[in-house]
Every structure is written in structure tokens, then in C-alpha cells.
Amino acid sequence: GRVWTQVSNLNGGLKDQVVLIRGRAHTIRAVGKKMAFLVVREAGFTVQCVVTVAPDLVSPQMVKYANGLSRESVIDVEGVVSVPDVAIKGATQQVEIQVRKLHCVSKAVPTLPINIEDAARSEVEIEKALQAGEQLVRVNQDTRLNYRVLDLRTPANQGIFRVQYQVENIFRKFLKRQGFIGIHSPKIIPGSSEGGAAVFRLDYKGTPACLAQSPQLYKQMAISGGFNRVFEVGAVYRAEDSNTHRHLCEFIGLDVEMEIKEHYSEVMDIVGSLFVKMFDHLNENCRNELQAIGRQYPFEPLKYLRDTLRLTFEEGVQMLKEAGVEIDPFGDLNTESERRLGQLVLEKYNTEFYILHRYPLAVRPFYTMPCFDNPAYSNSFDVFIRGEEIISGAQRIHIPEILAQRAEECGINVQTISSYIDSFRYGIPPHGGFGVGLERVVMLFCALNNIRKSSLFPRDPQRLNP
Ligand code: 4AD
């Protein structure tokens, strides 16, 4: 086969060489009948291709063909790399291709519902353009999602999902090195696993069932099954009617469960080192992606400490109190107080990533282990990025009698989870773990304002399509 070059790899070093690329017709500009400028885009990178009539090389028909292409059509271009003296505006690569051959592989319809150039502009650019009297359409979130395959073609979106893939990869790699194995728990299960009514119900051959709200019960049973350190990357389903910037009805959960030798801080140790590693990796290895995201959605790099900060819930409440925020010391934090505490932590400790632990037992799920020294609190934690939750975790109750009692106290029908509770009667070490929302990590690391931006085809209470 022929040698193909990626647009992102085109550079001055290839000067005078013949290259072959495939991309999309990003823009097409005719200059009379003898010349056409095509900007070709591949994975968010663009290069200017010049089609000029030249005897024996480029016919007037070819220029006409180029000018007749519709935007976003997939095209193959063969040509010679040249390096112009002046900077090239409107393309990421600072070389040009003098086109010799041009072939349309797949034609796009002539009128697109979204203009990719418009969809790729930042708020600041839009404001500027509007003030300059330019005609442009602000592409709103719903339109973007309706035509998601077009929206995904912007450089920022190309960056977001590459970053997301790296987050998943680091998660797997790091845990593998720490002796964890990956598992897959069932997604069709008999009942609720997090308590509450927010489950998608379905009929399982005549038996009522539901989509798993989390791998919680099964990752714990995997511990009972003798796998002492497990993780899972998988879909999680939540049916609650949360129409917010950070809730989806289906998201990707990164779950961890592990044996605890002495103290639940062992679980927080994993969280701390995993995420410092992850942030370092993203900053070092995803520069282009982060830049592409930042060009459309400007953000400051995340501030985090080498040694992840841990505060107790009591300390957090105290900080809020001192700042004049009224807080129920045994209630949960609402979104607003979480944000406020995030600001206070940033001011005091210079970090936007921290762990808050020893939550009041009353606000945690039934399976959470109470503190040994004070059962009003629990061996549990939440983890925050820029004042918003990305993780919750805890030590679990591994004593079946207490577990059954706590389930009952929390209003759970113990019958529906009897196989889970019974699995602890055959011997199980103390254990704990945590669950991470993948879309939230990406959203908050890049300070995006909506979780739909970091979900490929988001599912929310209003959206099942596309
Ligand atoms: O806080 P959650 O519900 O905790 C659990 O599912 C436990 N089983 C975890 C554990 O091991 N103890 O969910 C964990 C994380 C949250 O911190 C959040 O990042 C994300 O999952 N999450 C959501 N992400 C998007 N949309 C939603 N509706 C989410 N609900 C939770």
C-alpha cells in the first residue's frame, strides 16, 4: 500500500516530498477558475492544500472539482509539501500541500446543520466577531448534542475524548501495577445497590430487575471470591430526575475495591497516588489536547499537591463555620457548601484536589462502616476537584449481622440483597473502595461547565438520542 501521513505530522521537514493524506474538507475557497484553497482537517489538525492549474499536473477540471466539494466531505489528497514565507492563517500546520491528486471518498450533504468553524469558537471569539458585525450562529448545547457527530469534530472535542481515554488508561495501568485485577460485574441485577428509588426497572424473563446503579455489591462479592484487589471500568445507570450540569443517567464508573489490612486510610492512599500520577501524566503527555480544549474553553491548570490533602468532615464544617456558612454538623454538604469549602481549601492549602473523610454515618449508604471510636461518623470519604465531587468511597461493613441491621435501618428490603449479605458468611477480610465518575474527572480537570461535554453521547433525563 501507499504511505499515508497524518495531518498532525505534517511539518517543514517534509518539504518537497510527496505526501498522501486523508481528511475532511474543512473550508473551500475558490480564487477565480484556476485556483482553489482547501483546508483539510484530520482529528482537529488542519493543513492548507492549494489546487492550481499546472500543465500536465493539474487540470482546470480538477480545480472545478475541488471548488465543488461540500464541506466535511472525506477526501484523499496527494501533493508536494511546501513551506510558505508567510504564516498560514486558519490552519494548525505551518506547511502547505501543492495538490497533484484529489479524490472524494465520501460526500457530505451540501448544507450542514452545524458549521464546524462556528462550533469551534470560544465565547471570547464569538463576542469579538459579533461586535465586528460578523454573521455567525452561536451553536447551543442542545443543537450540538442533536448533531453530535458533527460537534465531535471540533479540536476541543477531539481533545476532550483523547484526555478521557488517557484517564481510563492511567487508572487501569496504575492499579494493575498495585496488584489489582480488572473485573466485570453484571449490569442487570435484581435490585437497587445504592439505596433509593432511582433505578431503571426492566423485566428479566418475567422477573423484575434493574440496571445496576453501581458495581458496589458485586465488587465486594469479588473480594469474598478471593480477589483481594479489584477494579472495574463500566457503565453505571442512575434514573434520578437530576437535571444539572453534573448528572447523567448513564455514566462510566471507575470502581475500586480492596482488602484493608489495618485502616481505611489505605484506600485513601491509593486515591492520592493514583490521581497525582494521573494529573502528572495528563499535564505531561496530553499538552496538545489540553491546549486544544483550552483554546475553546479557557481554563487554568489544576492546582494539586504531591501529597494529597486530607481533611476530616469536622474540620471542613469548622472551616465553613469560620467563614460564616451555617452547616448541620451531621448533615450532608450541599453543592453550594462543597464549592465554598473548595474555595476555602484553595486559599488555605493551595490545592484544588483534596479528600474529605469521616463523614457522618447518617448521610452515607447502608454498607458504610461506622467509625470505631464514634459511630455517628463513618470510615468514608469524598474527593473533590475544584469544589465538586468526583469520588465517593468508604470502608464497608463486612460483618453480615451488622450489615443486615444497617440495611434494614436504611429502609432496604433485606430479601433483595440476601445473596450479597450471605456471601459475607463464608469469611471475608475487612475491605473498602471507591467509585469515580469518569466524565466528572475530565469535566473538572478541564474546568468544563457541563458534564455533557465529556460524555460522547450523553444520556440525561431529557435525552436518549442520538
Ligand atoms: O457517589 P456515588 O453514587 O458512589 C457509589 O456509587 C459508590 N458505590 C462508590 C463506592 O465505591 N463507595 O458515585 C460515585 C461517583 C461520584 O463521585 C461521581 O463522580 C459519579 O460517580 N457520579 C455521577 N456521574 C455522573 N452522573 C451521575 N448521575 C453520577 N452519580 C455519581
Q: pLDDT tier at 413 (50, 70, 90 boundaries)?
A: confident
Rounded alpha-carbon distances, angstroms, from residue 20 to 43, 54, 73, 90: 16, 19, 17, 21
Q: What is the pLDDT of residue 466?
A: 97
Angle of helix 313-322 relative to helix 335-349, nearest 10 degrees, comes to 90
Peptide bond into 466 cis (omega under 30): yes
**Does the Cβ of 95 fall within 6 Å of ligand 1?**
no
Q: What is the pLDDT of residue 341?
A: 98
**pLDDT at position 391 over 90:** yes
Centroid of chain to Cα 71: 29
Look up 153 and say whether it is catalytic: no
Q: What is the pLDDT of residue 194?
A: 85
> What is the bridge-based pairing of β-strands 188-189 and 207-211?
antiparallel
Q: pLDDT tier at 135 (50, 70, 90 boundaries)?
A: confident
Indicate the range of 81-90, 224-233, 304-313, 423-432 predicted with least confidence: 81-90
Q: Which three cell numbers stand for residue 427?
A: 469469611
- HSE at residue 193, side-chain half, CA atoms within 13 A, is 25
Residues 256 and 174: their CA atoms lie apart, in Å, by 12
Q: pLDDT tier at 142 (50, 70, 90 boundaries)?
A: very high
Three-state SS for 35? Answer: strand
Candidates 289, 440, 454, 455; catalytic one = 440
Residues 466 and 463: their CA atoms lie apart, in Å, by 8
Residues 19 and 24: their CA atoms lie apart, in Å, by 16
Rounded alpha-carbon distances, angstroms, from residue 288 to 14, 78, 96, 128: 21, 26, 21, 25
Could you tell me the sign of the dihedral formed by the alpha carbons of 304, 305, 308, 311, in that order? negative
Look up 440 and say whether it is catalytic: yes
Distance 114 CA to ligand 1 centre (A): 33
CA geometry: angle at 32 spanning 26 and 34, to 5°? 85
Higher-scoring residue by pLDDT: 89, 105: 105
Residue type at position 37: F
3-state percent helix, strand, coil for the chain, nearest multiple of 5: 35, 25, 40
Angle of helix 287-296 relative to helix 155-177, nearest 10 degrees, comes to 140
Residue whose C-alpha is closest to residue 310's, from 260, 286, 275, 258: 275
Q: pLDDT tier at 274 (50, 70, 90 boundaries)?
A: very high
| Closest C-alpha to ligand 1, atom 10 | 434
C-beta separation of 452 from 439 below 8 A = no
Average pLDDT over all residues of the chain: 96
Could you tell me the sign of the dihedral formed by the alpha carbons of 89, 91, 97, 101, in that order? negative
Ligand 1 pocket, mutate which of 194, 214, 444 (most atoms under 8 A from CB): 214
ipTM comes to 0.99
**Does the Cβ of 391 fall within 6 Å of ligand 1?**
yes
- Give φ, ψ of 252 to 5 degrees: -100, 120
C-beta separation of 220 from 230 below 8 A = no
Candidates 123, 127, 240, 401; catalytic one = 240
| pLDDT single digits (tens) 202-248 | 999 999 999 999 999 999 999 999 999 999 999 999 999 999 999 99
Q: What is the pLDDT of residue 195?
A: 73
Q: pLDDT tier at 437 (50, 70, 90 boundaries)?
A: very high
| Closest C-alpha to ligand 1, atom 13 | 435
DSSP 8-state code for residue 2: P
**pLDDT at position 196 over 80:** no
DSSP 8-state code for residue 361: G
Q: pLDDT tier at 441 (50, 70, 90 boundaries)?
A: very high
Look up 378 and say whether it is catalytic: no
CA geometry: angle at 175 spanning 170 and 180, to 5°? 150
Q: What is the pLDDT of residue 91?
A: 94
Q: pLDDT tier at 137 (50, 70, 90 boundaries)?
A: confident
**pLDDT at position 197 over 80:** no
Distance 240 CA to ligand 1 centre (A): 12
**Does the Cβ of 278 fall within 6 Å of ligand 1?**
no
Q: What is the pLDDT of residue 416?
A: 84
Q: Which three cell numbers stand for residue 287?
A: 499538552
Ligand 1 pocket, mutate which of 236, 380, 386 (most atoms under 8 A from CB): 236
**Does the Cβ of 214 fall within 6 Å of ligand 1?**
yes
Sorted by sequence, the CB contacts under 8 Å of residue 218 that are 6+ apart come out as 185, 186, 189, 212
Centroid of chain to Cα 165: 8
Which atom of ligand 1 is found nearest the CA of 219? 11
- Which segments of 109-215 does DSSP mark as H helices, in order? 116-119, 123-131, 141-146, 148-151, 155-177
**Does the Cβ of 320 fall within 6 Å of ligand 1?**
no
C-beta separation of 404 from 416 below 8 A = no
| pLDDT single digits (tens) 335-374 | 999 999 999 999 999 999 999 999 999 999 999 999 999 9
**Residue given cell 469534530 in the structure block:** 153
Distance 369 CA to ligand 1 centre (A): 18
**Does the Cβ of 44 fall within 6 Å of ligand 1?**
no
Report percent pLDDT > 70 for the chain: 100
Distance 437 CA to ligand 1 centre (A): 6
